[in-house]
Structure 1
Amino acid sequence: MSEASASPVFDRAAIAGVGLIGGSVALGLRQRLLARHVIGYDASVEVLREAEALGVVDEVQTSPGEWLRGCDLVVLAAPMSALAPLARALAPWLSPGALVTDVGSVKAGIAAELEALGVRGFVPGHPMAGSERGGVTHAHAGLLENAVWVLTPTDHTPLTALSRARALVEGLGAAPVVMPPDAHDALVATVSHLPYLVSLALTHMVARDERLSLLAAGGFRDLTRVASGDPRMSRDMVVENRAALRDALARFRRQLERLEADLEQPGELLMAASEGKRTRDSLPVVRRSLLPPKHDLVVAVPDKPNQIGVVTQALGAAGLNIKDIEVLAIREEGGALRLGLESAEDVRRAAALLRAAGFEVRGRG
C-alpha cells in the first residue's frame, strides 16, 4: 500500500513555534496520521534542528514564505507575548482555505488581532495541558490526550472552520469545549492565572524566612507547583489577562476575608471546610501522568472491504494480542486504526509484519 492510499485530515500542517505544546501537536498529527506532512517553523534554528532530529516534524522553515501557501493547517504555538507578532508575520502568506488556530492561554486579544488581519479561517484555541518542563525535548502526543481543549470562535468565525477545528482536537485525543473568548478569559483567570499568583505569594513568603522552607513538605509543594513554570511565559500570560485577573483577585480577597472571620466561628469554618472538600473531591481527574505506559500502533488502511479483518487476522496469526482497538478516522480514501498492544516489543513486531504486508504504520512503544 502506498502512503497516498490513506487520506489524512490535513495535507500539509505548519506548527509555528515548536516548543512543548507545538511539538506535542506535531507529534499527535504524525502519530495519529492526521497530517501527511508536518512543517516546523521557529525563530530558533537550534530548536528546529532538535525537532527534526527527534522526528517531531518532517521539515523545518526559519522564515515565512511561499511554503505557507500550501498548508491547510497552521497552528500558532508561540508564547503569549509573541503570538500577535507571529500572526502578523504569517498572515500575508496564509492560504485563504487554511484552518488557522492557536494554543495561547488568553483568547480575546489574539481573536481580535486575527480578525483585524482578515484571517477568515481562524479559530482561537487553548489546550488545557502543559508541564513544568518546557521545550520540544519534553513534547509528547500523550500530553494532549483527554485534555480539555477550549475553542473560542467569534461572531465572524466560519462554521466550517469551527467544525474542522473540532475534528482536529478530537483527532488529537482531546475533548473540545466551545465558548466565547471573553468567557474563556474570565474562567481561566480563576482556575489558572489566579492559582499562579497565589503560588508566587506563598513561595515568596517561604523565600523570605528560611525557617519556613524547613517545614514546607509535600502539601506545600503540591500547592505551589505552578510557580515552577517558565517565569517569562507565566508573566506574559497573567499580564495579557490582567483585567479578568483583577476581578478574580477581588473575589479571592473576599473569600479570604470570610475565612478569616470564620476563625472566630468554628461551626462556620467547618461548613466552609466541608464545602471545600466536596468541591475538591468532585473535580474530574485526568491521570495522564499516572496511566500505564501505552504501546500503540497506528495503521493507515485503504477504503476496501474487510481491511480491519486483514490487520487483526495477520497479527493474531503471529501470536500478537490486540488489547484495544480504536477507529481514528474513516474517509472516502481510507482511514486509520489505533491498536493497543501488550509491549513495546509487540509494537515493533506488529509494525514490521504490517509494513511487509504493505500498510503504513506508526508506533509508540
Structure 2
Amino acid sequence: MTQPTHLASPAPLFQTAVVAGVGLIGGSMALGLRQRLLAKKVIGYDANIDVLREAEALGVVDEIRTTAGEWLREADLVVLAAPMRSLDGLARDLAPYLNPAALVTDVGSVKGGIAGVMEELGVRQFVAGHPMAGSERGGVTHARAALLENAVWVLTPTDQTPLTSLSKMRSLVEHLGAAPIVMPPEAHDALVATISHLPYLASLALTHMVARDERLSLLAAGGFRDLTRVASGDPRMSRDMVVENKAALREALSRFRRQLERLEADLDDPEELLLSAQEGKRTRDSLPVVKRSLLPPKHDLVVAMPDQPNQIGAVTQLLGAAGVNIKDIEVLAIREEGGALRLGLESAEEVARAAELLRGAGFEVRGRG
C-alpha cells in the first residue's frame, strides 16, 4: 500500500473566492467551494456581522469581511449573492476593488439588467448565473453544499461576455455538481416568470383565500400545502424577485388567465375537461425528477486526491486496515492536478478518526460530521 508522507494537494480552481451575501444560496456555494476543495480560501462578505460570525462558526467560510477594500484584489472568483434589489448596489460597492482578471458571477433569479450594470462598471469577466435551487428555510444556517447538486444552473452570457469566462463558469458549475445550461437573459426571464414567479403569485392568491375564511383552513390538508409551498419563502426576497421581473410576469399572468378561463368554460363540457385533465396528468408525470441530496449524509470526509497512482486505493486500504467502515464513496472532481474524494462514514467520531489517520499519511482532508 502506498502511504507517502508528503503529498501535493490538487491545485484548486481558485486561490481566493469571495462570496458576497452569505445567505442560503451564497452559503451553499461557499460550502461547495470549501468541501469540494475548489478554492484555497473562501471569504464571506456581508453587511451583517452576525450573519458572518455564524457563517464562520459553521465552517461555511474561512474569513469574514464587512466592508469592501483593497483586500478584494486577491480574489480570483467573486460571487454576488445578495437579494435582487440589493444586487446593483453590491456590484457598485465592490467594482472599484476587483481584480480585472477575476471571474465574477451572480446568483440572482432575474437576469435582464445585471449584465448591463457590470458592463457599465467596467467588470469584463462577468458571467450572469442562476442556480435553480432553493428552500423555504432561508439563511446561512440552512446552507448546504448538496443544495446545488444536480440543480440546473442557468448561465446567461451576452455579446460582451468573454468566451474564456463562460468556459470557466461552466467548469465551476460542473465541479459544484450542478448542470449548466446557457441561454440569453431575456429567454431566462420569460421562462422563470412561468415556472417560478407565476406559481409564487398563484400560491399567494390561494393562501389569501384561506386567510379570509377560517373554515377553509380546517380543510387545507396535504395537497393544498404542497401546492402553496412556495408561499412560505422569505416575503421580502420573494417580493423583490417578482417585481424585478414584472414585464415577463405580466405576460405569464395573461396566459395563465386564459388557461383558467378555458378550464372554467370546460366545466360545462365534461369530455373536454377530461381531455384537459389527461393532458395535465401526462405533462406532470413526464416532468423529470431532480434528485438532490437535500438531506445529505451528515458524516462526510472529503479527501484531496493528488495526481499520483493508487491514491484512492491508498485511502481505502488505510482506513480499512484501521477498521473504519466506509459506507459511501464518491469522486467529486477530477482536474489535471488531481481531484477530491467524498467518504460517507458511520459517525462524527469515525470522521475525526479517519481524518487523523489520513492527515498522518499526508492527505489533505475536510470533514462534515
With structure 1 as the length reference, what TM-score do the two structures score?
Answer: 0.95
Structure-2 change in CA distance of 1:293 and 1:324 (3 Å): closer
Partner of 2:41: 37
Deviation at residue 76 of structure 1 after TM alignment: 0.2
Partner of 2:222: 218
Partner of 1:270: 274
Partner of 2:173: 169
Instruction: Write the distance in 1 (CA, Å) between the matches of 2:336 and 2:196.
Output: 41
Deviation at residue 363 of structure 1 after TM alignment: 2.1
- The residue correspondences of 1:196-345 to structure 2 (distance < 5 A) are 196-288=200-292, 293=297, 295-345=299-349
Deviation at residue 305 of structure 1 after TM alignment: 2.8
Deviation at residue 344 of structure 1 after TM alignment: 4.4
Instruction: Write the distance in 1 (CA, Å) between the matches of 2:6 and 2:117.
Output: 42
- Three-state SS of the structure 2 residue aligned to 1:108 is coil
Instruction: Write the distance in 2 (CA, Å) between the matches of 1:76 and 1:229.
Output: 20
- The residue correspondences of 1:133-144 to structure 2 (distance < 5 A) are 133-144=137-148
The answer to whether residue 194 in structure 2 is matched with residue 190 in structure 1 is yes
Instruction: Write the distance in 1 (CA, Å) between the matches of 2:157 and 2:294.
Output: 33
Contact 1:26 1:56 survives alignment (8 Å): yes
Superposed CA RMSD: 1.8
Instruction: Write the distance in 1 (CA, Å) between the matches of 2:138 and 2:288.
Output: 25
Deviation at residue 206 of structure 1 after TM alignment: 1.0
Deviation at residue 128 of structure 1 after TM alignment: 0.8
Instruction: Write the distance in 1 (CA, Å) between the matches of 2:337 and 2:224.
Output: 54
Contact 2:297 2:344 survives alignment (8 Å): no
Instruction: Write the distance in 2 (CA, Å) between the matches of 1:18 and 1:4.
Output: 31
Contact 2:112 2:186 survives alignment (8 Å): yes
Deviation at residue 2 of structure 1 after TM alignment: 6.8
The one-letter amino acid paired with 1:192 is S
Partner of 1:21: 25
Instruction: Write the distance in 2 (CA, Å) between the matches of 1:328 and 1:334.
Output: 11
Partner of 1:76: 80
The answer to whether residue 62 in structure 2 is matched with residue 55 in structure 1 is no
Moved more, 80-89 or 314-323: 314-323
Deviation at residue 306 of structure 1 after TM alignment: 2.3
- Three-state SS of the structure 2 residue aligned to 1:214 is helix
Instruction: Write the distance in 1 (CA, Å) between the matches of 2:7 and 2:237.
Output: 39
Moved more, 182-191 or 213-222: 213-222
Q: Write the deviation string for residues 94-140 of structure 1: whole angstroms up to 9, x where unpaired.
A: 11111100010000111221122221111101111111111111111
Instruction: Write the distance in 2 (CA, Å) between the matches of 1:57 and 1:114.
Output: 25
The one-letter amino acid paired with 2:108 is G
Instruction: Write the distance in 2 (CA, Å) between the matches of 1:142 and 1:292.
Output: 7
Structure-2 change in CA distance of 1:285 and 1:291 (3 Å): farther
With structure 2 as the length reference, what TM-score do the two structures score?
Answer: 0.94
Partner of 1:111: 115
Deviation at residue 332 of structure 1 after TM alignment: 4.5
Instruction: Write the distance in 1 (CA, Å) between the matches of 2:225 and 2:332.
Output: 38
Q: Note the residue ranges of structure 1 that are not aligned, 5 or more in a row.
A: none
Moved more, 331-340 or 176-185: 331-340
Instruction: Write the distance in 1 (CA, Å) between the matches of 2:363 and 2:128.
Output: 36
- The residue correspondences of 1:2-21 to structure 2 (distance < 5 A) are 5-21=9-25
Contact 2:132 2:154 survives alignment (8 Å): yes
- Three-state SS of the structure 1 residue aligned to 2:64 is strand
- Three-state SS of the structure 2 residue aligned to 1:348 is helix
Give the paired residue count: 365
After TM superposition, which residue ranges in structure 1, 4 or more long, deviate above 4 angstroms? 1-4, 289-292, 342-345
Q: Note the residue ranges of structure 2 that are not aligned, 5 or more in a row.
A: none
Instruction: Write the distance in 1 (CA, Å) between the matches of 2:306 and 2:294.
Output: 35
Contact 1:2 1:360 survives alignment (8 Å): no
The answer to whether residue 361 in structure 2 is matched with residue 360 in structure 1 is no
Deviation at residue 3 of structure 1 after TM alignment: 8.8
Q: Percent identity?
A: 81
